[in-house]
Amino acid sequence: METSTVAVIAAAVGSGITGLFGFVALLLQRRAEERRQIRELAVQVALENWKTRKEAIEKHGGGFLSPVDVYLIHAIFLVSALDGSLKTDEQIREYIRRGFDASKVADEEVSDYNKKI
């Protein structure tokens, strides 16, 4: 093989490998950005729900306002379902139940922690 042919093949292989790594990096960056947006949306939803509940308690009196942590756990469940994976009514019901279960556990843990301090 001639030197020029080897050089061309080496350049092509090098370019291909560089392009492949660039493509993988782009996919990872895109996935990280989507996750960041989901986290931001979950925080916005949690804060809005917490504020709405707080206003209702202040307006009507009574009731218990869970810490924003509990609302965040619930919002993470709800927002993560936006990927379209929930196709049937039963899948949606089960997912909502799991979200409320997680919220209940979070509320219990926060209450237990607050009793200790």
pLDDT digits (tens, 9 = 90+) for 17-66: 888 888 888 889 998 898 888 889 889 989 999 999 899 998 888 778 88
Q: Are 99 and 78 in contact (CB under 8 A)?
A: yes
Q: Amino acid letter at 20?
A: L
pLDDT class of 1 with cuts at 50, 70, 90: low
Q: Are 46 and 74 in contact (CB under 8 A)?
A: yes
Q: Which of 35, 43, 37 is nearest to 68 (CA)?
A: 43
Q: Which of 32, 30, 27, 37 is nearest to 79 (CA)?
A: 37
Q: How far apart are CA 48 and CA 35, in angstroms?
A: 20
